[in-house]
Chain A
């Protein structure tokens, strides 16, 4: 994991090294500061009156240390932050680029929210871990070790006392964290439950209103909310114990150092260290507070770094997903006519469940092929295979006689224009969404496509017409409207093969009739694959493939299939009742 992270940092190693050096230097200055402070105080409290030359000299040193310390402790995190931001941007782009090369299986099987969280939150965690924490850890360790050494030199006994006390705060913090972890988990779970209820009720708000279910919804909300209060209160209190507890330990350490130093001074005890003066006590007191702070910081920092590593693991895992097969050296499929054939295709999504067995068919350029059959029968799978979203386990698909595995995927997909059941639109204007099918399309072309898709009428009534921004996921448009835009998008494309996968499933019957005229124009001269569950819409096809249980159980024209009285005839009869 570290190696993986380091590979992204390599580019910036010079800056990182510089940042670490500065951090170490500012840590060292933190050590020297109290020493000269003590000397200055001694110069003040010398028994023979204030020793001015000594005081000025030490104050001069302090001024230099403080100024350079401030400069160093500014530059160091700025540098490391820059490195971290760059590295994280690199990781993010790299992972994203990799995702773009992953097979469709990845998108079909991974929960999308999880992947998005990796690209956003996990990258942030790495930034936090690398940017601040790394340097903090480094300078923290320098400070702690240095302070400890300095204190041992000045007074081994007092140093030993501090060394015994300070880790106590760490132990307390750990203890509290472990004890409250369960409470925090319970709080998280309750929050999740409450969130789910909120989401369910507010997304079904129309129904809640239609049935005046507000109070029922409220009661449930208040019930879960009350439970959340109970665990939340305890979890929060548990978490809130850490700060005062460590502060207590720090105060005790501070008091011990002061009092022990005072006793040593009174009794002229050196105990193997320096003779105690007011200045030395002040130095020790400074060290005592300085010593405790990085220890507390390190405790916080380690969780950040742990998080960063956990996040890095999650990103690395995606980065290591096997991409689609390499395409270097493959030819492009140039302007195919649209002659498509499938020979003995075998395919399954999961090895244990064979789906498509020995599928063969052929389509002449310009013909219309309908694929019909019950849900889950494998209709959409055929589209997945045609467009190489998935590759068959065995068998060959040819376009104009060329095995599709021997050409680049992009060039193959450029031969297809499609309207899918899922009406995906991206955040952008309606115009941009339609132009997705043909980058650089003119406004005239876009409007023509929209008219052919029966989308022009509703688009012109949107708040900003073609410039209306489709919100995230297209939530401000109805399902039917979204589908009409995807149809317009396909209308713009001039690809020789057209795929309509339940292309009008969200559109009402009447609009569908109009759209179909648009499709008729679109289909002329192109090979078209039409997947539909309304049989009436495909009767005119040149070839009807009846797919059930992954196999083509029948194929032929409408007349042939009706005459055969087989599976297709059964489907027709079932629809008619």
Chain B
């Protein structure tokens, strides 16, 4: 049905899927010999197991019917030996399965994580943090388990089925026809029920997810729900979902409960048929009683093996869904991935870490030389627009921004919530690519600058002030080995963070997850210190003063100016923070609404004047407004 869709989209999807599949396969590559050895030993085990009923035929026919007690005694060590040998092969297989499935999972997990670290911010936003984390953890785990079960259990079924058939054929070719009729029937039943059941299972899962969502909302929104006296409504909503769930579960149960009785019935009917036809053959001396017993055994072997597979169906359906989700992510291109660059990137990843560091270093040196030639402009935006969503009805997040920031100057960016301030920052740090227009950093197009190099050139203290667990030192160096303790301390001092860091135990002071052991203002200063420590050419402070008092903010600004960092971009909603800037860009609804100094803007930009008036920061003589 989906095949009817546009060929183009399908092709693109195909090639993307192919790429994903390649990644999954590559994860398994290292273990490919194990993927052969495991099933091989499973085969050996199956053969040993299948020998037992045949040997039992001889015991019955020669031993019992032929009254040969010595023969029976002789069979004891042989049969027990075969059971033991089967067990040993099984152990080998299980070990191999554990080794290779865990190895595959481990490798896939690492690849997936590395990949996710490198996809564009736009894609990361789309997938969402929990989506990404779930894929790395749950989905990979399910795939890993599916691989283990595939080697351990699923492969057994065809071996046992085919093996039983072969053994039965060796005993009596004609009677094998009974099995040949029963086998496709059995497979058909398993396949049919599975196919009906799988979408129903998916539905149950969906309903369960909804129940979880409602539960979560009722936990976190307890105050609001009660304040608006909506408990009754929530109860209804929950019960509706529960009812739906109930119905779905009952339906699944009705379908899946058919499996066991039906397959058993088919097996038993086959047994009756064997006895029926077998009787005729025995009467004509074409068959022995022992062979009948063996036949019955083989039939039950096949059914048991098929049932094991059927019971694994839920796992494999889940695995298929996980596989799709993982592939989806692998299909997303890595940021800045273009032709050769992407290839070499991949290689670097595969090789490990040491090398790419060196590469980054040399490139950096080259880059700086080239950049110096760019003249006095640090950052230039030419007619830049940005849209997050490809939808004509949604206005652009940024619309036609033109801007030149001379080296050594301070640019202020002001605007209300949603005016596009942070979007602009996201462009300069390469988190997003402009939809239109061109961005030049020190004269070079941002698209041609290696990400690592860009981040050394443009340092940002972001709004969220994200800190990672570890020590203060870990957070300030952010993994850069060229930043020593001296530089860390200097950066802390510049960011006015030296005081509280010393109190907490210096550079070795622990930082808890999310930096929760620091206050909002402290986190902000640490985040600024991290940006300063990298000694970037251009420093962006995205709302870094909001939790600081005016005095601290002012001294931080002064010490950054004196630190040798040339160009600064200060993003704020407070006019006070950007007033001293050489140049102020006013953003309104993603459009530029004024560019100039504070004084100029007051008279030229109504938006700026309004922001000043509302935050009570205009000078009376300039604004002439009664409110000031």
* Chain A residues within 8 Å of B, Cβ to Cβ: 33, 37, 40-41, 43-45, 49-50, 52, 55, 59, 62-63, 66-67, 69-71, 73-74, 77-78, 81-82, 85-86, 89, 92-93, 96-97, 99-101, 104, 107, 110, 112, 115-116, 119-120, 124, 127, 131, 191, 194-196, 198-219, 221-222, 225-226, 228-229, 232-234, 236-237, 240-241, 243-245, 247-248, 251-252, 254-255, 258-259, 261-263, 265-267, 276, 278, 281-282, 285-286, 289, 387, 389, 409-410, 413-414, 416, 418, 420, 422, 424, 426-427, 436-437, 439, 457-458, 461-463, 472-473, 475, 478, 480-481, 486, 493, 507-511, 513-514, 536, 577
Is the beta-carbon distance between A203 and B300 smaller than 8 angstroms?
Answer: no
Most B-side CB within 10 Å, residue of A69, A195, A214:
A214
Given contacts A209-B431, A282-B296, contact A463 B394 (CB under 8 A): yes
- CB of B110 within 8 A of chain A? yes
- For B25, list chain A residues within 8 Å (CB): none
23 sampled A-B residue pairs with Cβ under 8 A: A33-B268, A40-B275, A44-B282, A44-B289, A45-B289, A50-B282, A52-B279, A62-B271, A92-B242, A110-B219, A194-B137, A209-B431, A212-B479, A229-B102, A232-B105, A265-B63, A422-B223, A426-B217, A461-B394, A463-B393, A507-B417, A510-B615, A511-B416
Chain B, residue nearest A78 (CB)? B257
> A-side binding surface: helix, strand, loop or mixed?
helix
Check if A93 sits within 8 Å of B238, measured CB to CB: yes
Bound form: Cα–Cα A332–B69 in Å = 93
Cα–Cα, bound, A119→B460 (Å): 43
Whole-angstrom distance between the alpha carbons of A384 and B109 in the complex?
A: 46
B3 at the interface (CB under 8 A from A): no
Q: A436 touching B60 by the CB < 8 A rule?
A: no
Asked whether A251 and B242 contact (CB < 8 A) given A73-B264, A96-B235, A478-B418, the answer is no
Please name all residues of chain A whose beta carbon is closer than 8 Å to the beta carbon of B518 when the two chains form the complex. Answer: none
Which of B94, B121, B389 is A240 in contact with, Cβ under 8 Å?
A: B94
A267-B69, A481-B418 as given contacts; A206 in contact with B462, CB under 8 Å? yes
Q: Which residues of B contact A49 (CB under 8 A)?
A: 283
The distance from the CB of B150 to the nearest CB of chain A, in whole angstroms, is: 13
Judged by a CB distance under 8 angstroms, whether B530 is at the interface is: yes
Count of residues in B whose CB is under 8 Å from the partner chain: 154
Is the beta-carbon distance between A59 and B208 smaller than 8 angstroms?
no
Report Cα–Cα, A37/B272, bound state, in Å.
9
Q: For B289, what are the chain A residues with a Cβ–Cβ distance below 8 Å?
A: 41, 44-45, 278
Considering only CB atoms, which chain A residue lies closest to B285 in the complex? A49
1/0 per residue, CB under 8 A from A, across B381-409: the answer is 00000000101011100000000000000
**Which 10 A-B residue pairs are closest in the complex by CB-CB distance?**
A216-B479, A45-B289, A244-B90, A81-B253, A240-B94, A211-B478, A70-B265, A513-B614, A508-B573, A237-B98
- Taking the nearest CB of chain B, how far is it from the CB of A303, in angstroms? 16
Q: Are A418 and B79 in contact (CB under 8 A)?
A: no
- Asked if A204 meets B64 with Cβ closer than 8 Å, knowing A41-B293, A97-B235, A278-B290, the reply is no
Within 8 A of A (CB), among B181-213: 208, 211-213
A203 to B129, CA, bound (A): 5
Beta-carbon contact of A81 and B574 below 8 Å:
no
Let me know if B87 is at the binding interface, CB within 8 A. Answer: yes
A49-B283, A124-B208 known; A201-B117 Cβ under 8 A: yes
Distance of A298 Cα from B186 Cα, bound (Å): 26
B224 interface contact, C-beta 8 A? yes
Q: Contacts A119-B211, A214-B117, A266-B69 given: A509-B615 contact, CB under 8 Å?
A: yes
| CB-defined contacts of B276 to chain A, threshold 8 Å | 55, 59
Q: Which residues of A contact B394 (CB under 8 A)?
A: 461-463
Complex CA–CA separation, A120 to B221 (angstroms): 18
Who on chain B is nearest to A187 by CB? B102
A41-B289, A119-B215, A461-B394 known; A195 vs B72 contact (CB < 8 Å): no
Whether A263 pairs with B455 at a CB distance below 8 angstroms is no
The 8 A CB mask of B19-33 against A (1 = contact, 0 = none) is 000000000000000
B480-517 toward A: CB 8 Å interface, digit per residue (1/0)?
A: 10000000000000000000000000000000011000
- From residue A124, how far is it (CB to closest CB) to chain B in Å? 7
Q: Closest Cβ of chain B: how far from A134's Cβ, in Å?
A: 14
Q: Are A104 and B275 in contact (CB under 8 A)?
A: no
When chains A and B are docked, how far (Å) is the Cα of A507 from the Cα of B152?
57
Distance in Å from the Cβ of A80 to the closest Cβ of chain B? 9
- List B contacts of A66 (CB < 8 A): 265, 268-269, 272
> How far does the alpha carbon of A278 sit from the alpha carbon of B141 in the complex, in Å?
49
Q: State the Cβ distance, B546 to closest chain A Cβ, in Å.
A: 9
Do A262 and B60 contact each other (CB < 8 Å), given the known contacts A70-B261, A206-B464, A251-B86? yes
Residue of B nearest to A73 (CB): B261
| A493 to B616 Cα, complex, angstroms | 31
Chain A's nearest CB lies how many Å from the CB of B259? 9
Tell me the nearest residue of chain A to B234, going by C-beta. Answer: A100
Contact B83 A248 (CB under 8 A): yes
Q: Which residues of B contact A259 (CB under 8 A)?
A: 59, 72, 75-76, 79
Given contacts A50-B282, A209-B455, A262-B63, 15 further A-B pairs with CB under 8 A are A44-B279, A44-B289, A59-B275, A82-B253, A101-B231, A116-B215, A199-B133, A206-B462, A207-B466, A211-B479, A240-B98, A255-B56, A439-B233, A473-B216, A508-B416
Separation in Å of the B519 CB from the closest CB of chain A? 10
The residues in B between 455 and 478 inclusive whose CB is less than 8 angstroms from any CB of A are: 455-456, 459-460, 462, 464, 466, 468-469, 478
Question: Chain A residues near B300 (CB, 8 Å)?
Answer: 289
| Cβ-defined contact, A413 with B83, below 8 A | no
**Residues on the A chain within 8 Å of B132, using CB:** 198, 202
- Neighbour of A414 across the interface among B99, B133, B229, B589, CB < 8 A: B229
B239 at interface by CB-CB < 8 Å: yes
Expressed in whole angstroms, the Cα–Cα distance for A59 and B91 within the complex equals 41
**Residue pair A116, B216 in contact (C-beta under 8 Å):** yes
Is there an interface contact between B257 and A211, defined as CB atoms closer than 8 Å? no
Binary CB contact string for chain B from 94 to 114 against chain A (1 if under 8 A, 0 otherwise): 110111011101100110011
Q: Which residues of A contact B116 (CB under 8 A)?
A: 202, 205
**Contact indicator A37/B417 (Cβ below 8 Å):** no
- Report the nearest B residue to A501, measured CB to CB: B223
Q: Are B137 and A265 in contact (CB-based, < 8 A)?
A: no
Using CB atoms, name the residue of chain A closest to B589: A457
Q: How far is the CB of B414 from chain A (nearest CB, A)?
A: 9
- In angstroms, Cα B268 to Cα A437, docked, is 64
Say whether B297 contacts A229, CB under 8 Å. Answer: no
